[in-house]
Structure 1
Amino acid sequence: MMYHPLDEGWTLTLLRGDRPDAYAALDDGIPATVPGVVHTDLLAAGLMADPFPGAQEAELAWIGESDWRYRSTFSWHPTLDDAHVDLVAEGLDTVATVRINDVVVLETVNQHRSYRTDLAAVLREGENSVEIDFRSPVRYAREREEVLGERPHSYAHPFNTIRKSACNFGWDWGPDFATAGIWRPLGLQEWAHVRIAAVRPVVDIVNGIPHLTAHVDLEWQGDDEEPVTVEIEVAGASARVEARPGQPVVIDLDVPDAEPWWPRGYGEARLYDLAVRVGDGVDEATRWSRAIGFRRVEVDIAPDEQGSPFSVRINGRDVYVHGANWIPDDVFVTRITPESLAASITDATDAGLNLLRVWGGGLYESDDFYDICDREGVLVWQDFLLACAAYSEDAELWDEFEAEAREAVTRLTSHPSLVIWNGGNENIWGYVDWKWRSRLNGRTWGEGYYRDLFPRIVSELAPTTFYSDGSPFSFSSYVHPNDDSHGTMHIWDVWNTRDYDGYRAYHPRFVSEFGFQGPPAFSTLESVVRDEPRSPFGREMLAHQKANEGNDKLERGLGTHLPAPGDYADWHWTMQLNQARAVSFGIEWFRSLFPLNRGWIVWQLNDCWPVVSWAAVDSHRHRKPLWYELRRVSAPRLLTIQPVLDGDGLRVTLHNDSDEAITGRVELRREGLDGTVLASLALDLEVAARSAWTAPIDASLAVAGDPSREVLVAESSSGERGLHYFAEDTALALVDATAVDARAVADGYEVTLTAQTLVKDATLLVDLVDPAARVDSGMVTLTAGERHVFRVSGPAGIDPAAFARAGVLRSANDLVARALVR
């Protein structure tokens, strides 16, 4: 096989649309990049400025409302005798007509599929032309809604009528920049006799022995009936069969020398190269290889006395999930690279996370994403691509869903990290709870996908992964889909309508979505928001706050936890701090419920542009205060002080999510903010691996003499610490009194903080000094007399004192102190 990429010489022109005068160059065509999309080509041509700053969304809406043409020429000279030549389009976004030499060879309506078409009738030796016309995705979606019927959906556009990434039409954290273009590679593939169309390695561990069932799909040229041999080899095991046209090729193979693939924290993520050869395998069409791993996947959903669990089990071991939801890593997805994916996944692993949920409003990610998760031992929960809407089950959509699902499951089955397929996001919940039924008036809404099509495809093509009908889901037709006692749940009344102490109203078996908003790093915000004067409710600020009443909810979410901010800088820090506290508050509560609770997936890990959002890491790769709290509460061992369940008083709990048992003591101290010990008690601690220990706290410690000036400290002999405050910060006698020393060191800077009294949540906002600076720790709480060293990396030549100045060094203390003088 020979592959000829079609990635050079492209031009982009506007076919139809109301372009502004500044884009007149489009009339003659501008250079285009493949892979790419219209927006990135306009950027590269200098016609469009960076679309993220300011409030440009409405001004740029014409791009998604327009039709576009990509055109190129290429030279073709056959290299094989009597060869078959296909046009291979790995991804067209979205409604496209492809012409070769002015002949239509392909029409597409699905971003989430690849396409292959025979060019025998149109390709000629020498010069050829290729032309791809893209219809406006926005206008096409509206047109199909007229045909299919209006169905409930989130946000402005009927994204549920078109097979395109839903969030590309705008979401409550992303802009409405509906794209069009050749978003994945395009090329010609020349092959003769037979080619490998797909390999689907289904792995399992049976009676302790790794096992592979390799499904090899072959495509034969014309009426060729000559048999071929198919050979597979992996980890020292091999097998060979003879294949004939029309017969499926399925090879079963025990692989006794392979070791299991384990998720992070449970063992090594062992991978082995699987090689497939057809005949002598001399060309690319007849050989295939990739790394695979062997694991057994189970999810326990069997009813119990508390309801029904959702417990992920890998290789027979229950895995407590510390997870995050994943969205596309850039608004313009063709800018995503293997390196950028690796950096974002490192944000997850550095925080102690062991699962990423690829959310249903986004994409089936590139193999690079899943390859990294395979290597790093990060479990993947993959949604089918439906979110927050009702979907027609008419043939035109059903057939597309089936084609894209079959392709996605076939492509991704080789990845051991992918352990869960999920029917869609919030659609079943929406049907039950969001008044859809009356609006639908009997029309289909997607149930056939969740309960029939997708489970059949997963059962057929990936039988050793788990399938869930949706998220949230209770795994019963007779239980509310978002019941905390059953299966998975989403908690969104906290943030939307309720204070974050509302997390304690739930006893969830598994939380697959929850979160709280906060702004990005200050430098990230300044790169796009330039209102004069700066204001949380300025025009440009609100263009980067996509949630309904988002900044109002941020202010309401402070409750009595933190004082109202006095100025814009305080607003920024206060809202970042409250976001971090809200999420960690919820996670500590969930983990304290172990073994009832078996995991959580925070919304969300990453951002796709500079925005106020739920992300832990902003789009400029600044780790927000939330990220540091995620790292703390995702640690293998977490010591926390919580209310007694179904009673009065406090309890101390240690969740030991590690393979080592712990024996020792827990020291409890009720002390003044100045460090004076007022009461103390030591408890014997003995907790098995992957288990939890809990004990009630004596009233002499659990009740404060002066709630405004005391704190309860729990410290284990194994090094964990938990804190309980008897009053919110607005009633605590916090003072801004610390000793700070800053100095330059060989690899950056060190800032040493010494607490003269209790210091809560000390954080260095180092990007205020230099946007390239990064710091190793944040959200540090010190009791009186304790010290902490912040290690800062950044450009040389900065005055170290800049990292210790007020406004860069922040804490809850300074917010309380500033509020007292206002």
Structure 2
Amino acid sequence: MAISPSQAENLLGSRYPCPSVAFSTNPFVCLIATGGKMKDQRMVNEDLTTGWNFKQTDTEVWLPVKKVPTVVHLDLLDNKKIPDPYTDLNEIDVEWVGKKSWTYRVTLPGHTIRNEFRTELVFDGLDTFATVKLNGSVILKSDNMFIPHRVNVTGLLKGNDQLEIEFDSALLKARDLQKVHQDHKYLCWNGEPARLTTRKAQYHWGWDWGPVLMTAGPWRAVHLESFKSRIADLWTEYEVDTAERSVHGWLCTRIEGQNVGEVTFCIEMAGEQVFKGTTSLEEDGTARLAFTLPKTDLWYPHGYGKQPLYQVSAALFANGSELDSRSKNTGFRHVELVQQIDKIGKSFFFRINGIDVFCGGSNWIPADNFTPRISDTRYRKWIQMMVDGNQHMIRVWGGGIWEEDVFYDLCDELGVLIWHDFLFGCGNYPCWPELLQSIENESSAQVQRLRHHCSIVIYAGNNEDYQLQESEGLTYDYEDKDPENWLKTDFPARYVYEKILPNIVRKYSPSVPYHPGSPWGDGKITSDKTVGDLHQWNVWHGTQEKYQIFDTMGGRFNSEFGMEAFPHIDTIKWFCTDPSQLYPQSRVLDFHNKADGHERRIATYLVENFRTQTELEPFIHLTQLVQSEALMFGYRGWRKRFGQDRLCGGALVWQLDDCWPVTSWAIVDYFQRKKPAYYALARVLAPIAIGIQRAHHDWSVTHAHPAATSNFEVWVVSSRQEEITAKVEVKFLSIKSGAEIKTKIEKEIRITPNGTTDVLKGVIDNTNEEPHVLAARLFIDDAVVARDVDWPQPLKYLSFEDRGVEVVYRGALIQVTAKKPTKGFVFEERDGILLSDGAIDVVPGDEIKVRVTGLGDGDEPLKWRYLGQDEE
């Protein structure tokens, strides 16, 4: 019985397009139409998504599984066997799940496989200690959730075949491994030390923003493949001549199965063929073909150019018949990590196709503890938020996962650069031989899988493992260059970070720079601000400095920094189902904040800067204003330094997202509700932004005695590549009355391309001038393109009554005005509604227009709030 081409594509999956085909009822026989005769030649793939059951291994009760990929918590939830771990205190009630063994099974559909075909069971990811049986016989044992497996089952399928996978408790197995390998110093931050033994996502053990939920199951696809020969891999090796905009290199593929035939390579752009060629297979099953593209559309991060993606494809032929085909999208770009000696140390910034890029962006953790339920739509919304928020780089953090294909595809498509950690985080990892081999296998497989993604511009060996080494006094002699010596020390993982991983990147992805860790700086201490990248946690953690001096605390690249804030009130009401617990210090709300000492740290930054609140919604607003202000002070100053001789190459806030509903450092919560900080960063990272700031005066050291005078400065930053003529306006507005207390300043300027333009400096007379804001605007062709407002600090000393705020809806625009300077104006974040701005400082004479999408004519207007509103 024939089926349609669209059904064929659904059956095969988009990775294996099969044009002009008809199919028999046997899904493993793909018949090519050639001159009226049918020849069973092509490879066939079938995903095993349905028909599964699972059980607790030591019981007899099998329960249905909706679909694979999955993890056991999702299936227990579907079968109403556990409460939702994300609500109330339920995380505690489901701890038992991670201490049990779980078994999954499926009956394979009947097949008639011709003898000359090879059949393989393919496991894209098994979490984590898995024993796979086919008809009762063990065919695979796996102990690394990040290694894909292929098992040759040719001749073993008899019909009505039973596939069964038993998943041991990773928690208990890890503890056993720690006991076996007792000669290592098991030291870590977050989770328990046993996690260091096991190649499982480290955040599953719990982190200072995430729960302890020890998953198990076929977390990625399971499928059957049947083929004579298949294209196992397809990749390009190339160099870019940025001046000529030409690309030349090699198209490469690796074949498995019968080593016969030839390969036809093709490169297309927007459906137009730009290269085609054919070559024979080498004896080792590879094929390589030189190519040149004389005039190439190069790939850029968004805002710096376009994101053209070329489709590179390979088709395997034998005796005139196509056996398999494969295609990937890739962009051609040249990446440099510029590390040059300069006046303060060594630079650390990225140059893409010859253009220096300030990498303002975010850190990324997995967007759910149960990753199989993150939809493609949800992934797209996350990455689109990066683009809409003017963020150019996302860092895939080392305690998470090698992400789903769609994550990288979206970064390629939308122009978001990726800093990618290898998956080691906050620990002193052991290095017994079998574990080293597993690490090498994992890293080789994943780097090969990802090497076509143009968005990946750096690999880093780990997250904060060198920091832990320093903190715990572990051995690290940078001058010792003998890797065998490293394995004999109490910090053996240096062998991984400085030998295994750089060799893998050099072999499989040589165009991508490698960095031994994050933070790391040429063997210097990780807190050195003159070299490498820096995790600056002396705001919030550490010495808990005033956030107003964040900009003075940065390094050459600030790859982590942050400030906590409560999530949206609707998010809190979702995870806290008991109304009596809806107050800022309740047990449930504390439980949904995993950060050590969070009560003290939140309280410290609130009482230092604001008049505190005890009611929940005003309290939420204050914590979000603290976060917004803190991150703004950091980003604003560090971006300014980029334009000053590239003194700072980037800033990545910890963090963009959450893995469950929680109070954390995220600037967007689990349900993708933006916090005010998101908008503040979008303004600072805009293609052209203006900054105005008075010198910091530490009010706590001087016992609230004000400085007699305060210096201030105004500057403009631009990522545009051309010089632009503009006008700067600075007003001095009374906080009490809103009146101008002295004559405004206006100045014509020419904005420096891709740099910082110093506009003016001045002095505030605090003795004779009443408290006032400095309000700066930037005009291009008489249109306001950027704003910034500087306030006397701390804000708790100021009064905000009678601000005279007015909000008017005019179609898709909301107009906001104020009679007096107003701080931290925010709209509610309503699901399905998109806003162009938020966390706004509104001053007299400056009408703010906010675009709103998704709000219908009959819908309730958005609620809004600003600092001091509850005190009026």
Aligned CA distance change for structure 1 residues 686 and 339 (closer, same or farther; 3 Å):
same
Q: 1:799 to 1:370 in 2, by over 3 A?
A: closer
Match of 2:257 among 195, 217, 220: 220
What is the letter of the counterpart of residue 554 of structure 1?
Answer: I
Q: Counterparts in 2 of 1:469-618, with a 5 A limit?
A: 469-474=516-521, 476-477=522-523, 479-496=524-541, 497-529=544-576, 530=578, 532-594=580-642, 595=644, 596-618=647-669
User: Which of 737, 742, 754 matches 2:817?
Assistant: 754
The answer on whether the counterparts of 1:671 and 1:679 sit within 8 Å (CA) in structure 2 is no
Q: CA-to-partner distance for each residue in 1:215-255, whole Å, 9 max, x for gaps?
A: 3111234xxx6453453444512332211332543332111
2:212 to 176, 189, 202: 176
**Any idea what SS the aligned residue of 2:868 has?**
helix
Distance in 2 between residues matched to 1:248 and 1:556, nearest whole Å: 61
Letter of the 1:557 counterpart: Y
The partner residue of 1:641 within 666, 676, 692 is: 692
Mapping 1:372-771, distance limit 5 Å: 372-436=410-474, 442-474=489-521, 476-477=522-523, 479-496=524-541, 497-529=544-576, 530=578, 532-594=580-642, 595=644, 596-642=647-693, 649-673=711-735, 674-699=738-763, 702-705=764-767, 709-718=771-780, 719=784, 720-741=786-807, 752-767=815-830
Look up the match of 1:140: 173
Q: Does 1:244 align with 2:282?
A: yes
**Partners of 1:394 and 1:230 in 2: CA distance:** 44
* Structure 2 CA distance for partners of 1:505 and 1:630, relative to 1, 3 Å: closer
Structure 1 segment 204-219 matched on structure 2, within 5 A: 204-206=239-241, 208=244, 209-219=246-256
Structure 1 residue ranges without an equivalent (≥5): 17-23
The separation in 1 between residues aligned to 2:778 and 2:683, in whole angstroms, is 15
Counterpart Cα distance in 2 of 1:515 and 1:257: 43
Is the alpha carbon distance of 1:533 and 1:644 closer, same or farther for their aligned partners in structure 2, counting shifts above 3 Å? closer
CA shift, 1:536, in A, is 2.2
The more displaced of 492-501 and 326-335 is: 492-501
Amino acid at match of 2:529: D
The answer to whether residue 335 in structure 2 is matched with residue 301 in structure 1 is: no
Instruction: Check the 8 A contact 2:581/2:588 in 1, yes or no.
Output: no
Specify the SS of the correspondent of 1:698: strand
Q: Which amino acid aligns with 2:239?
A: D
Cα drift, residue 739 of structure 1: 4.2
- In the alignment, the residues of structure 1 paired with residue 322 and residue 469 of structure 2 have an alpha-carbon distance, to the nearest angstrom, of 48
Stretch moving more, 712-721 or 645-654 = 645-654
What is the alpha-carbon distance in structure 2 between the residues aligned to residue 708 and residue 582 of structure 1?
25
TM-score by length of 2: 0.86
Whether the 8 Å CA contact 1:704–1:710 is kept in 2: the answer is no
Distance 1:404 1:706, change over 3 A: farther
What is the deviation of 1:535? 2.5
User: Are the counterparts in 2 of residues 405 and 457 from structure 1 also a CA contact under 8 Å?
Assistant: yes
Q: CA deviation at 1:592?
A: 2.2
- How far 1:791 moved relative to its partner? 5.2
Query: Following superposition of structure 1 onto structure 2, how do residues 226-265 of structure 1 map, counting pairs within 5 Å?
Result: 226-234=260-268, 235-246=273-284, 248-265=286-303
**Which of the residues 157, 163, 166 maps onto 1:123?**
157
Structure 1 residue 810 corresponds to structure 2 residue 865: yes
Per the alignment, residue 13 of structure 1 pairs with 55
Q: Per the alignment, do residues 614 and 15 of structure 1 end up closer, same or farther by CA in structure 2, a change over 3 Å counting?
A: same
Q: Which amino acid aligns with 1:494?
A: V
Q: Shift in Å at residue 789 of structure 1? A: 4.6
Within the alignment, does 1:3 sit opposite 2:45 as a pair?
Answer: yes
Measure how far apart 1:728 and its partner are. 2.1
Q: Is the 8 A contact 1:203 1:293 kept in 2?
A: no
Find out whether 1:784 has 2:840 as its counterpart.
no
Which stretch of the first structure deviates more once superposed, 197-206 or 138-147?
A: 197-206
Work out which of the residue numbers 76, 82, 90 in structure 1 matches 2:116. 82
- Check conservation: 2:55, 2:102, Cα contact below 8 A: yes
How many residue pairs get aligned? The number is 788
Map of 2:23 onto structure 1:
none
Q: Which amino acid aligns with 2:56?
A: L
Contact 1:12 1:32 in 2 (8 A): no
Change (3 A) 1:27 1:241: same
CA–CA distance in structure 1, aligned partners of residues 367 and 453 of structure 2: 20
Give, as a single letter, the amino acid of the residue that structure 2 aligns with 1:166. Answer: Q
CA contact under 8 A between 1:202 and 1:413: conserved in structure 2?
Answer: no
2:314 to 271, 276, 282: 276
**Residue type of the alignment partner of 2:791:** Y
1:675/1:783 contact within 8 Å kept: no
Do the aligned partners of 2:581 and 2:589 also contact (CA within 8 Å) in 1?
Answer: no
CA spacing shift, 1:679–1:128, aligned 2, 3 Å: same
Query: 5+ unaligned residues in a row in structure 2: which ranges?
Result: 1-42, 477-486, 698-708
Give the secondary structure class of the aligned counterpart of 2:346.
coil
**Is the contact between residue 729 and residue 812 of structure 1 (CA under 8 Å) also seen in structure 2?**
no
* Contact 1:236-1:257 within 8 A present in 2 as well: no
> CA offset at residue 570 of structure 1?
1.7
- Residue number in structure 2 paired with 1:41: 75
In 2: Cα distance, 1:668 partner to 1:754 partner: 18
Tell me the distance in 2 between the aligned counterparts of 1:736 and 1:644. Answer: 28
Q: Structure 1 residues 291, 31: closer, same or farther in 2, change over 3 A?
A: closer
Match of 1:20 in 2: none
Aligned to 2:189: 154
Aligned residues: CA RMSD: 2.5
Deviations 1:530-579 (A, max 9, x none): 36152222111112101111132111112432111132222111111111
1:605 positional shift: 1.0
SS in structure 1 of the partner of residue 395 of structure 2: strand
Q: Deviations over 1:626-673 (max 9, x none)?
A: 111121111111211235799982221211121231224423332323
Deviation at 1:797, TM superposition (A): 7.9
Q: Contact 2:208–2:595 (CA<8 Å) still a contact in 1?
A: yes
Q: Deviations over 1:52-87 (max 9, x none)?
A: 110111210110111000012123323444111111
Question: In 2 relative to 1, CA 103–549 (structure 1 residues): closer, same or farther, beyond 3 Å?
Answer: same
CA contact under 8 A between 2:316 and 2:325: conserved in structure 1?
yes
* Worse-superposed segment, 286-295 or 228-237: 228-237
CA distance in 2, matches of 1:603, 1:329: 14
Q: Determine helix, strand or coil for the equivalent of 1:569.
A: helix
Q: SS at the partner of 1:251?
A: strand
Report the CA distance between 1:285 and its aligned residue: 5.5
> Which is further off, 113-122 or 705-714?
705-714
What is the CA deviation profile of residues 296-318 of structure 1, one whole-angstrom value per residue up to 9, with x for unaligned ones? Answer: 11111122221011110111111
Q: 1:550 to 1:798 in 2, by over 3 A?
A: farther
Confirm or deny: 8 A CA contact 2:727 2:746 kept in the other structure: yes
Deviation at 1:29, TM superposition (A): 3.4
Instruction: Go from structure 1 to structure 2 and tell me whether the alpha carbon gap of 1:736 and 1:251 turns closer, same or farther (over 3 Å shift).
Output: farther
CA–CA separation in structure 1 for the residues paired with 2:425 and 2:760: 43
